[in-house]
Structure 1
């Protein structure tokens, strides 16, 4: 990848960080969307335990992506297709990054917040827990489930730069799938919209930086091996 590609990506990610940070800090959009799926009379989210939403969106889609990625990874190893192997690794690294951030997060899911019948306090992004407040179970930021869909954005690196249009279409498909899977969780009260926006941001940042690092390591190894061969044959 040319250096200009990485400069554009970092600039775009910085701009999106400002936009998503504003959404998270303001919180009105998050609550406005989540309120549509909350039933105040019963203090519950009617779609929380919906059978089809749980089966198709929360389980089937995630497992299909995981199984497909694992199969593609082994196929890439068998075929010695380094580009396919790297792409599948990028998918896993993006999900892993979100999973780690989510595990250490103090932010609780909407269904645990006092605003929606729970006992946990709402904590705006980049702020600490107020004295005496209950953070609840936490571990709800960014959106872990959406990261499975967003991971498909890594297919961009499988096709770029030989098929640029197809590469960007794959990136867009991963973006839309991640948002769709994430919105299913919004309907259940499991996440705010901003949780999913940040999930996509972290996945793409991880994939871009990881691809840069891996490609540079491969290039260095290739140059080093070539020098060894030249020196050995001299």
Structure 2
């Protein structure tokens, strides 16, 4: 099983993606313009937020699907016929996926950015502010803890799969990438429609998970 090296182009792409997210949040109005589409001015709320079926399928369902995938890979690693190298690689995937989700959770818990549904312009009370702005300059910064998106990590934490040298993953990398993108769009799109997150929030989750996958793969290749 050959190592899957990380090229300079991939590092550069990751950095450029991060800069795009900063520009999107700080210098454009795409976040608010997109969220405004799903906000009902008459009810002064995001209607999708109250839809229990959407929450059940795309919120709880995504969590259960992620848990099932994680446990499934763990079972494969523990099978008697699994070779040592395969077990180590699956262990890497499992650990890195958890690290990616943990990194997103830690950043989110320390974030001063509030969710759209907490903002005054969307029926809440908090003031809207952008990345790197001093929250002390605002009367009510709100509860915060909303950047990046935690729920989107249920999909993007699996970016680590794209860097696995396991033949049964490497040979299907394109399909895995398409599935990850589809899952990410679903998890992210629902959160945006519910008013739970802005576009930059969910993209930041993808960026963090991608970065964790790249860094951990680089370290793993050095030690292997």
Q: Which residue of 2 aligns with 1:98?
A: 104
Instruction: Report how far residue 179 of structure 1 moved.
Output: 2.3
For the residues of structure 1 that align with 2:203 and 2:91, how far apart are their CA atoms? 27
Q: Match of 1:70, SS? A: helix
RMSD, aligned CA? 2.0
The CA distance in 2 between the partners of 1:24 and 1:59, in whole Å, is 28
> Which residue does the alignment assign to 1:213?
219
Match of 1:124 in 2: 130
Extract unaligned runs of 5+ from structure 2. none
12-21 or 108-117, larger mean C-alpha shift: 12-21
* Matched residue SS, 1:47: helix
SS of 2:214's equivalent in the other structure is helix
Q: How many residue pairs end up in the alignment?
A: 217
Residues 16-54 of structure 1 deviation map (CA, whole Å, 9 limit, x = unaligned): 112111111134111111111111122111110201110
Displacement of 1:214 in angstroms is 2.5
Higher relative contact order (CA 8 A, sep 6+): 2
CA distance in 2, matches of 1:198, 1:124: 14
- Separation of aligned partners in 1, 2:15 and 2:49: 34
Please say if residues 149 and 178 of structure 1, whose CA atoms lie closer than 8 Å, have aligned partners that are also in contact.
yes
State whether residues 150 and 205 of structure 2, in contact with CA within 8 Å, keep that contact through their aligned partners in structure 1.
Answer: yes
Report if the CA contact (8 A) 1:153-1:175 is conserved.
no
Partner of 2:205: 199
* TM-score computed with the length of structure 2 as normaliser: 0.89
- Cα separation, 1, equivalents of 2:123 and 2:192: 16
Q: How does 1:74-85 map to 2 (within 5 A)?
A: 74-78=75-79, 79=82, 80=84, 81-85=87-91
Q: How far apart, in 1, do the equivalents of 2:16 and 2:166 lie?
A: 23
- The equivalent of 2:184 in structure 1 is 178
C-alpha distance in structure 2 between counterparts of 1:161 and 1:12, whole Å = 25
State TM-score, norm by structure 1. Answer: 0.85
Partner residue, 2:163:
157
Q: Whole-Å Cα distance in 2 between the matches of residues 174 and 183 of structure 1?
A: 14
Query: More displaced, 108-117 or 172-181?
Result: 172-181
Deviations 1:74-124 (A, max 9, x none): 431443421122112221111111111001000000000011111111120
**Within 2, Cα distance between the matches of 1:162 and 1:64?**
20
For structure 1, which runs of at least 5 residues remain unmatched after alignment? 220-234
Aligned partners of 1:30 and 1:146: how far apart in 2? 16
